[in-house]
Amino acid sequence: MAQEKKTSLPWSEAFRRTRRVMGIWWRICPNWFWATGLYDALTALAPYVAVWFSARLIGELSGGRNPETLGLLALGALLSGALLTLAMGAAKRWRDYENQMSRLAYKRLHQDKMLDMDFVTMDRQETADLYSQILQNVNWSGKGLLEPLVSLEKLMTALVRILGGVGLSVTLFLSSVPEESGMTWLNHPLCVLGVLAVLLLGAVTAPALYNRGDAYWVKYAQSILYANRAFSFYGYTVSTQRGRAEDARMYRQREQVSDPLLEQTGEFGPHSLIARWARGPMGACFAASQSVSAVLTGLVYGFVCLKSWAGAFGVGSIVQYVGAITNLFLGLSELLEGLGELRVNAEDAFLGTEFRFLDLPHEMYRGSLTTEKRADRQYQVEFRDVSFRYPGTERYALRHVSMTFRVGRRLAVVGQNGSGKTTFIKLLCRLYDPTEGEILLNGIDIRKYRYEDYIALFSVVFQDFQLFALPLGQNVAGAASYDRERARRALKDAGFDRRLETMPQGLDTYLFKDLDKDGVEVSGGEAQKIAIARALYKDAPFIVLDEPTAALDPMAEAEIYSKFNDIAGDKTAVYISHRLSSCKFCDQIAVFQDGAVVQTGTHEELLAEEDGHYYRLWNAQAQYYVNNKTKGDRQERL
Ligand code: ADP
């Protein structure tokens, strides 16, 4: 439950944060400023031009009634109106386009940060929470990095309005009521000051009340966090994402999980905190703000009409003065509202969260040594007494692992689920740094190499690899323009050649239907082959397969692995599998158990150790496959 607390951010800090935001926008989307500035200037100017011409026209109609002047004024009003509308239309298009661009630039900013941060930082729950809070703020109240753009626009319009309003209303206060009207008190400086004071007071009170109402969002941001996350996950992701559709139906996740959950949080119903605030203090603030504005407009009308009635100016000027003052008043309100919004937006809950995300530091040391592109591919990696704990956990996922990857050899890493195989690979690819011990590349600690250089040495097919809804060839090459022959060869080596022949557009066939209605849906096994082809195309000195063949049957898996042995050529290859039979052909097998390497050797050597872990695993699996095979045979006979 949110605590009622007053906004406490000092103005100076709010401005400092907002200035930083503007700096970011100026860097990532400079044209937005020009487009919006032009559009706002024109929009703010237009009413004054209309008001000015209308006033002159009415004045002339009620006074001189000179046809020539009237004609000129009418023409001026028409032409200026037409030109301004045209210019505004063009400027609006440009502004709308830049607004879209700013949304894209905003997404890119986050994506770039995500990709640039250390994997270990990205993998943390706190980082995921931070990012999801940013998205929720944007969806829920629009607050964060985007809102200052909206507020700035408001401020720009407000300033032009104020300047125009002052310019067109000065004479209202300067023009005197004639003696004979008997209302000369209207000329008295105190009367003028009094009216000005009331107007100013109203102009300050209305936005202040508005801002007070707006500040309830800050108080609510924390309270809604959980409900929003649950809503977007169960209300959107679960029910609309294709990969989740089966589970969502079979387990009736919406009725059984999401509806009760949302009911339980109660944040979207009529009894939620924000709904109660809206009916109570928050709504009252907004309503009071509107009322003050309405009362003030009435006052302005009263004052202007009274002065005109007393003979200070003609009827025509009433339009001008009322228009000018209403706009001036609106401008002042918008100025204060905009400033208030900026302050609320700069709070820790909004801009503070954005900055915490953007300022996440690089924790991993990144050296500057280059790996030199060695033609002989003589890259040798050694794990020296490496232990590792995932951040925030007490248990060691790896314990005292020492191992050398001999150049050009095939290493199999086997072990039961949770024994540390994937963790081992993540350390090898420097997604994490060891907690203890070190990893060396050609005798030098891998931290001393340039990060990009080091990871470029690896082609990895992870368990949860992802393909894009792009043409097959681009998926394989990981680029829009690529060597088609090389892509074809990689697909052939990965065992995809026969399927490639059936693809309607060959390498140009889109995978999935997201971007092309003729796109092809590939099966899990086919997707894995494409992922393997991608690793082959990269042609890095190390090739790592982390159980990428889970969707294949044991025979197909064994086939891929043994074939891979030939394809891998002079590369150093690492295979991870819990199916021991798939890795029989490797030069060396490392057996993992509870984060430690408990045995190493060839398949034959390891089988010879009858009290070893490998022997036990092998027998357990052999039994399983024999049983399954018998079952299969029996079914075939039936
Ligand atoms: P394997 O690949 O052999 O199945 P892993 O290397 O994935 O095993 O996991 C080893 C251990 O590390 C397991 O106990 C697992 O729960 C833990 N672990 C894996 N990933 C994380 C993570 N991101 N955060 C915390 N613990 C993890």
3-class DSSP string for 403-444: EEECCCCEEEEEECCCCCHHHHHHHHCCCCCCCEEEEEECCE
- The DSSP annotation for 137-167 comes to HHHHH--SSSHHHHHHHHHHHHHHHHHHHHH
Three-state secondary structure call for residue 479: coil
Q: Please say whether the beta carbons of 542 and 574 come within 8 A.
A: yes
Answer yes or no: is pLDDT of 3 > 70. Answer: no
State the pTM of this model. 0.74
Tokens coding 98: 């830049």
Residue of minimum CA distance from atom 25 in ligand 1: 390
Backbone dihedral angles phi then psi of residue 601, each to the nearest 5 degrees: 155, 180
- Of 600, 591, 120, the C-alpha closest to 393 is 120
pLDDT band at 623 (very low <50, low <70, confident <90, very high): low
Q: How big, in percent rounded to 5, are the helix, strand and coil portions of the chain?
A: 65, 10, 25
Task: Choose the residue to mutate in 124, 387, 390 for probing ligand 1, maximizing ligand atoms within 8 Å of C-beta.
Answer: 390
Tokens coding 284: 């009252």
Distance CA 534, CA 243 (A): 23
**Tens digit of each residue's pLDDT (9 = 90 or more) over 149-169:** 999 988 988 888 888 888 888
Q: Please say whether the beta carbons of 152 and 34 come within 8 A.
A: no
Distance CA 20, CA 27 (A): 11
Interval between CA 436 and ligand 1 midpoint (Å): 17
Distance CA 381, CA 446 (A): 9
pLDDT of residue 605: 93
| Averaged pLDDT, 580-584 | 77
Interval between CA 617 and ligand 1 midpoint (Å): 20
Interval between CA 168 and ligand 1 midpoint (Å): 72
Q: Which residues contact 153 (CB under 8 A, 6 or more apart)?
A: 36, 40
127-141, 211-225, 257-271, 340-354: segment of lowest average pLDDT: 257-271
Closest ligand 1 atom number to CA of residue 123: 23
Tally of CB atoms within 10 A around 243:
7
Interval between CA 397 and ligand 1 midpoint (Å): 6
Task: Please identify which residue in the block is written with the tokens 């100017």.
Answer: 45
| Averaged pLDDT, 129-152 | 90
Interval between CA 253 and ligand 1 midpoint (Å): 28
- Of 618, 595, 602, 603, the C-alpha closest to 422 is 595
Q: Please say whether the beta carbons of 323 and 51 come within 8 A.
A: yes
Closest ligand 1 atom number to CA of residue 419: 3
**Amino acid letter, 165:** G
pLDDT of residue 64: 81
Task: Choose the residue to mutate in 423, 435, 461, 613 for probing ligand 1, maximizing ligand atoms within 8 Å of C-beta.
Answer: 423
Q: Please say whether the beta carbons of 617 and 607 come within 8 A.
A: no
pLDDT band at 16 (very low <50, low <70, confident <90, very high): very high
Residue of minimum CA distance from atom 10 in ligand 1: 420
**Tens digit of each residue's pLDDT (9 = 90 or more) over 442-499:** 999 999 999 988 999 999 988 888 899 999 999 999 888 999 999 999 999 888 888 9
